Amino acid sequence: FAPWTDPEEKPLIQFRNVTKRFGDFTAIEDLTLDIYAKEFFALLGPSGCGKTTLMRMLAGFENPTEGSILLSGQDISGVPPNIRPVNMMFQSYALFPHLSVWENIAFGLKRESKDKAQIHARVDEMLRLTRLEKFARRKPHQISGGQRQRVALARSLAKAPKLLLLDEPLGALDKKLRQDTQFELMDIQEKTGTTFVIVTHDQEEAMTVASRVAVMDEGKLIQVATPAEIYEQPNSVYVADFIGEVTILDGHGTRTDDGYDIAIGEGLPTLRAKTSHDLGAGGKMHLAIRPEKVAISAEKPTDRPNALQGKILDIAYLGNISTYHVELPGGTIVKAQEANTRRLSRRSFTWEDTVWLSWTDTAAVVLER
Ligand code: ATP
């Protein structure tokens, strides 16, 4: 079930032509974006692209210079952070060191002065949700980093916000724990039905946890789509390059019946690519091709429309896969990936080998910019 595909559904959050300036510096430029209830939405981009600024405007720590932000259809510009049904979990977790796990989770609830039984029930529920029952009486310094992260999450969810903002929530964890915690985060998001907006510069993390991802650059949205669309149908060289491994071939395209023929340089064969996108009659174009779509073989394949000969420059062995860097005549490097299903000693290719790279006419994406 994808909530944003329901045409009846109204967005929970709407950014309408939002611009944010700091002095004469524009951090966010004319940005329009809808986020729906129950989404796990990721803001992804390099350092300085404006992710945190966007998040801080949702939390109410900053206000737009121009445009407006609506929550459930109401303009929330100017509404102070503590009045918004929005909570933010910081990368540092900001736990109170002198309070127990239980008291940390209860803190916000107590300030709302709900009755005691209600507070107890809610804290217990949060402890169960984050599997922290056993640690309720410990202080933050008596638990692990992963457990601290869960306390912070439990505390942020205790007041049942409509929207939870997570600023690099897993940044302090090592890679293995980070991966496990990503699944936990998805699980908790699903169970609570709270809308999560996560800020990350880690593309794998965004792709793993999010139902939709916004790829940003210099204060602008470049593409907003599901992880699979972002990976398989990037709308630009920037997005193709930012997400995963890719080879970008620059060339000159000419329209065919079902796509484009792309000339990528003298002495190299013209490449064929099918596409339903209209990029005009022809001109400067780019082909983005994922390494796992490129087959590598000793003989020229007869069944594939795109085949290029080159020489292996580097091989990166990654356990489950190996990535080959193959140099074409003229110096362009194309990446090809192979699953390591055979044992190393029986592997067929090595450095300096001349090989054929090939792919089908639907494997590469044709891009204008
Ligand atoms: P990072 O991943 O490094 O946190 P980010 O994408 O979250 O980066 P922002 O923190 O949103 O980026 O910052 C976007 C731009 O706005 C940066 O160039 C930053 O220097 C600038 N900026 C942010 N806050 C302020 C401020 N209060 N005053 C002036 N400039 C600011």
Which residue range is the domain that position 257 belongs to? 245-367
Q: Is the CB of 201 under 6 A from ligand 1?
A: yes
Query: What's the whole-number mean pLDDT along residues 284-305?
Result: 94
Domain endpoint, select from 211, 237, 263: 237
- Nearest CA owner, ligand 1 atom 21: 27
Taking CA atoms, 113 is separated from 117, 119, 274, in Å, by 11, 9, 63
Q: Is the CB of 46 under 6 A from ligand 1?
A: no
d(CA 159, CA 156): 7
Residues 193, 50 share a domain: yes
- Nearest CA owner, ligand 1 atom 17: 48
d(CA 245, CA 139): 43
Q: Is the CB of 21 under 6 A from ligand 1?
A: no
User: ∠ at Cα 84 (139, 119), nearest 5°?
Assistant: 40
Q: How far is the CA of 52 from the centre of ligand 1 (A)?
A: 7
Residues 302, 217 share a domain: no
Alpha helices in 130-174 (DSSP H): 145-157
d(CA 194, CA 178): 21
Instruction: Determine which helix (DSSP H) or strand (DSSP E) holds 123, and give its type and residue range.
Output: helix 116-129
Residue 146's CATH number? 3.40.50.300
Domain endpoint, select from 181, 205, 237: 237
Is pLDDT at 346 greater than 70 in this prediction? Answer: no
Residues 176, 285 share a domain: no
Residues 254, 294 share a domain: yes
The residue whose CB lies within 8 Å of the most ligand 1 atoms, and thus the one to mutate among 21, 29, 47, 53, is: 53
Q: How far is the CA of 366 from the centre of ligand 1 (A)?
A: 33
Is pLDDT at 88 greater than 70 in this prediction? Answer: yes
pTM, two decimals, is: 0.90
ipTM: 0.93
pLDDT tens column, 238-271: 999 999 999 999 999 999 999 999 999 988 999 9
Residues 126, 160 share a domain: yes
Q: Is 95 in contact with 109 (CB distance < 8 Å)? A: no
CA 170 to chain CA centroid, Å, is: 14
Q: How far is the CA of 28 from the centre of ligand 1 (A)?
A: 10
